[in-house]
């Protein structure tokens, strides 16, 4: 007996939140029933996509001469509190206080991020300017923060993490690295994951705790909220001074080093792939990221043709696998329509249909996940056609994402305009603003309160837009110094 179809029951445009939750569950990306809020189980299908994100990031940073390392999960309380601004993380951390029933002499934290566990050790590693630059990364690990509001792949109490931590002799080297970090975002998030975004320089009140400056690529999700996909930070010498990371220069004088750290949001990238590319049928992923790239569906009308069809499929499957494509044959006893829906839900990029007609003609029929377009080709041309179809699929994914993103920014001059636009618009709002230094924080708080959650994302980077002499701050009406982008955030 055929299984009951269990596809998504709501439309993405009608109820994005429910659609997103159903897709994560029904496409077996994660299981939220672990029993502790904010801790999820990564299921195999979803984790294979996350592994690809890690692979892309590792390849990019290793091409930039970063070396892998791995630190313990624990952070000493003393280390967590040393950098004054960064100590602001302490309300979010989980503390380990007992071993069994015995209270520990010194409690320690589960890392909320890597700086406070890594930099005390860095102070032991480097002595001379000749030891630098030092570029290293941690990958395929998790961090812990006591988030009050949680959502799979957007916010959690334990989440997948990737981070680089670099040390330099000069500030210029650090700033050059930040440019490379943004290049990594471009290569991985834009080109491979097919997610469009804008680069921002964060306001002074919203930069990483302990950094001089923070830079982020932000996209817009279908519900209109900003998704911060990564962040890279100019740490200046702040952490070096806090943790006494010094080297001798050419004149044998001790000096503090310059540092950067970079955190691509593995979870956030995953969330963007799910939300931006997916449709009412289910998941859509770029060809290279798919856990299975090709599914072969037998179309069998009579039992006497079944053997012929399956034998032909074995030949096709072997040929595809030999070309290093990830292929699966659905030989279950479900009807073809059920199988089509099932693999569309799971986002397999290409479907190959094989029935008696294809066997007789020595052909196959290929359907794309993005638009359902079908093409029949000779079996001898199948590898060439898969490559062609994969390229077209990726192009369609990018064009669809970019089309939506290109139309998601509105302009406003006053706070009233922002409030009106935000009631119906899903995306960024561009406004004149007094200052992204600390002086503008009060206006940012007023805007957030008046719009029920509108945040100043920052100014465009590396080329901020210029204000005119007639532009006044949308909030306080003083002369505007910046053009900033506003959006609600997760």
> In this prediction, what percent of the chain has a pLDDT beyond 70?
98
pLDDT band at 372, cuts 50/70/90?
very high
Query: Which tops the pLDDT comparison, 84 or 191?
Result: 191
Instruction: Specify whether 231 is located in the same domain as 308.
Output: no
pLDDT tens digits for range 13-42? 999 999 999 999 999 999 999 999 999 999
Instruction: Specify whether 380 is located in the same domain as 454.
Output: no
Q: Is residue 431 part of a domain?
A: yes
Count of the separate structural domains present in the chain: 3
The domain boundary, picked from 335, 360, 393, lies at: 393
Q: Is residue 23 part of a domain?
A: no
pLDDT band at 1, cuts 50/70/90?
very low
What's 95's domain CATH number? 3.30.930.10
Mean pLDDT for 265-294 is 98
Average pLDDT, rounded, for the chain = 95
Instruction: Specify whether 165 is located in the same domain as 191.
Output: yes
Q: Is residue 175 part of a domain?
A: yes
Instruction: Specify whether 381 is located in the same domain as 417.
Output: no
Q: Residue 455 to residues 82, 418, 430, 442, 478: CA-CA distances in angstroms?
A: 29, 11, 11, 12, 19
- State yes or no: pLDDT of 46 exceeds 70: yes
Q: Is residue 57 part of a domain?
A: yes
pLDDT band at 488, cuts 50/70/90?
very high
Q: Residue 130 to residues 61, 249, 257, 264, 392: CA-CA distances in angstroms?
A: 22, 8, 12, 29, 49
pLDDT band at 89, cuts 50/70/90?
confident
Instruction: Specify whether 67 is located in the same domain as 133.
Output: yes
The domain boundary, picked from 337, 366, 393, lies at: 393
pLDDT at 339: 97
Instruction: Specify whether 265 is located in the same domain as 352.
Output: no
Q: CA–CA separation, 59 vs 312, rounded Å?
A: 38
Instruction: Specify whether 355 is located in the same domain as 429.
Output: no
- State yes or no: pLDDT of 283 exceeds 70: yes
- Determine the structural domain holding residue 479 and report its residue range: 410-488
**CB atoms inside a 10 Å sphere around CB 252:** 8
pLDDT at 59: 98
The domain boundary, picked from 348, 365, 393, lies at: 393
Instruction: Specify whether 368 is located in the same domain as 418.
Output: no
pLDDT band at 139, cuts 50/70/90?
very high
pLDDT tens digits for range 413-428? 999 999 999 999 999 9
Q: Is residue 18 part of a domain?
A: no
What's 424's domain CATH number? 3.30.110.30
Instruction: Specify whether 206 is located in the same domain as 295.
Output: no
Q: CA–CA separation, 19 vs 11, rounded Å?
A: 6
pLDDT band at 215, cuts 50/70/90?
very high
pLDDT tens digits for range 475-484? 999 999 999 9
- State yes or no: pLDDT of 234 exceeds 60: yes
Q: Is residue 222 part of a domain?
A: yes
Q: Is residue 178 part of a domain?
A: yes
Instruction: Specify whether 314 is located in the same domain as 451.
Output: no
Q: Is residue 12 part of a domain?
A: no
pLDDT band at 204, cuts 50/70/90?
very high
Q: CA–CA separation, 395 vs 268, rounded Å?
A: 22
- State yes or no: pLDDT of 135 exceeds 70: yes
pLDDT tens digits for range 404-413? 999 899 999 9
Q: Residue 450 to residues 15, 114, 288, 411, 482: CA-CA distances in angstroms?
A: 25, 35, 44, 17, 20
pLDDT band at 91, cuts 50/70/90?
confident
Mean pLDDT for 138-161 is 95
Instruction: Specify whether 318 is located in the same domain as 175.
Output: no
- State yes or no: pLDDT of 2 exceeds 50: no
Q: What is the dihedral of CA 271, 274, 276, 277, to 10 degrees?
A: 150
Instruction: Specify whether 441 is located in the same domain as 354.
Output: no
pLDDT tens digits for range 221-231? 999 999 999 99
């Amino acid at each position: 007996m055929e299984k009951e179809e269990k596809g998504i029951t709501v439309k993405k445009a009608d109820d994005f939140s429910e659609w997103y939750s159903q897709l994560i569950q029904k496409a077996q990306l994660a299981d939220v029933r672990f029993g502790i809020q904010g801790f999820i189980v990564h299921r195999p299908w979803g984790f294979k996509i996350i592994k690809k994100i890690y692979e892309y990031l590792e390849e990019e940073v290793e091409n930039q001469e970063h070396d892998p390392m791995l630190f313990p999960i624990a952070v000493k309380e003393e280390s967590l509190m040393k950098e004054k601004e960064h100590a602001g993380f302490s309300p979010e951390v989980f503390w380990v206080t007992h071993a069994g029933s015995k209270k520990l002499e010194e409690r320690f934290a589960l890392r909320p991020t890597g700086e406070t566990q890594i930099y005390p050790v860095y102070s032991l590693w480097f002595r001379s300017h000749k030891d630098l630059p030092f570029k290293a990364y941690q990958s395929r690990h998790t961090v812990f923060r006591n988030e009050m509001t949680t959502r799979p792949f957007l916010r959690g109490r334990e989440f997948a993490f990737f981070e680089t931590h670099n040390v330099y002799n000069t500030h210029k080297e650090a700033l050059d690295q930040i440019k490379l970090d943004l290049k990594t975002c471009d290569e991985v998030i834009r080109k491979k994951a097919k997610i469009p975004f804008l680069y921002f320089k964060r306001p002074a009140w919203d930069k990483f705790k302990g950094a001089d400056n923070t830079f982020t690529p932000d996209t817009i999700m279908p519900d209109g909220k900003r998704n911060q996909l990564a962040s890279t930070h100019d740490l200046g010498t702040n952490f070096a001074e806090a943790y006494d990371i010094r080297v001798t220069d050419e004149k044998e004088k001790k000096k503090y080093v310059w540092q950067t750290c970079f955190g691509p949001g593995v979870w956030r990238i995953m969330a963007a792939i799910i939300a931006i590319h997916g449709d009412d049928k289910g998941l859509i992923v770029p060809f290279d990221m798919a856990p299975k790239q090709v599914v072969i569906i037998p179309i069998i009308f009579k039992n006497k043709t079944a053997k012929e069809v399956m034998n032909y499929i074995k030949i096709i499957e072997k040929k595809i696998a030999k070309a290093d494509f990830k292929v699966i044959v659905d030989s279950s006893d479900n009807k073809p329509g059920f199988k089509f829906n099932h693999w569309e839900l799971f986002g397999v990029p290409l479907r190959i249909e094989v029935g008696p007609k294809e066997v007789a003609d020595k052909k196959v029929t290929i359907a794309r996940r993005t638009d359902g377009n079908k093409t029949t080709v000779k079996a001898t041309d199948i590898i060439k056609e898969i490559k062609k179809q994969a390229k077209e699929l990726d192009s369609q994914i990018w064009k669809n994402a970019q089309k939506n993103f290109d139309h998601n920014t509105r302009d406003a001059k006053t706070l009233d305009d922002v409030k009106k636009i935000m009631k119906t618009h899903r995306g960024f709002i561009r406004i004149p603003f007094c200052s992204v230094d600390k002086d503008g924080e009060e206006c940012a708080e007023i805007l957030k309160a008046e719009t029920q959650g509108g945040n100043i994302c920052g100014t465009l980077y590396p080329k901020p837009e210029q204000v005119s002499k007639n532009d006044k701050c949308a909030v306080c009406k003083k002369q505007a110094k910046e053009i900033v982008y506003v959006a609600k955030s997760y």
